[in-house]
Amino acid sequence: MELRRIAEETELTLTKTQIEVCPLCAGTGWKTLPASPVQNKDRRVTRCDCQLQARTGTLLAAAHIPRRYEHCELTSLAIDGLYRSLAPARMAASKFVEGYPVDKTGLLLIGTIGVGKTHLAVGIVKELIRSKGIACLFYDYRELLKQIQNSYNDSVKTTELDVLRPVFETEILVLDELGAVKPTEWIWDTVSLILSTRYNDKLTTIITTNFLDGPSAKAEGVEGPKRSNRDDTLGDRIGDRMRSRLHEMCRVVTIEGTDFRQKVKSASFP
């Protein structure tokens, strides 16, 4: 009998702990602010911290940050020693978070693979969610195009608009590795639809790319053997029109890895 009573009591305590009510707001979701000396008659209330925490969790899950980048923080990006050259880019990222949404200009992060641009983009997203409660969505460019293409398949239940709606509407979109798919007419149209829709709706877009920010070979009149020796630029990959649209939407941040500097040199001295 005694044992049973203890067991029941233990169970009761456990249940109580699980449904512990927030001590700040007693479960109402609102907390009272300290009375202001000026308007001491009116009690002012604000969203309780427990509500903000819940919202942070929801927003982080909705941002679809890929597993391998989940740990990335702005503060965890190394900027000393060998990585000194990353300091200005990290500064630009922090400035962006600080200034948003007063300044809604996006970012175009340019740098070679492995230089830390995806880390920066994810760090920005997490910081915006935690400190400002802003809805963000992360998409790998290749993955997004693949999902749109899959939606044309009759056996797939999702429609093109199901995939695109959050891409069009989320307050901040990260498009990682822009240009990483060999361009076709369809890809140009799709990129143009996404960027133009967000531009028209004045929504902020953060782009990462490892293509040099230059006009297409066609626009520069580069042909023949010279063309085959020339690395593709952003203009080649997404079209000159979309490249200039990007410049209207974003501030360019070049991340100077050592490899990247070499590439710039060889591009200017063919």
Task: Tell how strand 250-254 and strand 106-110 pair up.
Answer: parallel
Nearer to Zn ion, 58 or 244 (CB): 58
Asked if 50 is part of the footprint of Zn ion (rule: CB under 5 A), the reply reads yes
* In the complex, least distance from residue 58 CB atom to Zn ion, rounded to whole angstroms: 16
Nearer to Zn ion, 27 or 114 (CB): 27
* In the complex, least distance from residue 31 CB atom to Zn ion, rounded to whole angstroms: 6
Nearer to Zn ion, 47 or 218 (CB): 47
How many whole angstroms separate alpha carbon 218 and alpha carbon 227? 9
* In the complex, least distance from residue 34 CB atom to Zn ion, rounded to whole angstroms: 16
Selected from 48, 65, 164, 167, the binder of Zn ion by CB under 5 A is 48
How many whole angstroms separate alpha carbon 254 and alpha carbon 208? 10
Contacts with 208 (C-beta within 8 Å, 6 or more apart), sequence order: 109, 110, 111, 117, 118, 120, 121, 174, 175, 176, 177, 178
* In the complex, least distance from residue 26 CB atom to Zn ion, rounded to whole angstroms: 8
Nearer to Zn ion, 28 or 159 (CB): 28
Interacting span for Zn ion (CB under 5 A) from 48-56, 141-149, 203-211, 232-240: 48-56
Site for Zn ion in 6-45 (CB under 5 A): 22, 24-25
* In the complex, least distance from residue 30 CB atom to Zn ion, rounded to whole angstroms: 8
Contact 68, 46 (CB under 8 A): no
Nearer to Zn ion, 50 or 87 (CB): 50
Nearer to Zn ion, 49 or 98 (CB): 49
Site for Zn ion in 82-111 (CB under 5 A): none
Please tell me the count of residues contacting Zn ion according to CB under 5 A. 5
Residues at the contact surface with Zn ion, assessed by CB under 5 A: 22, 24-25, 48, 50
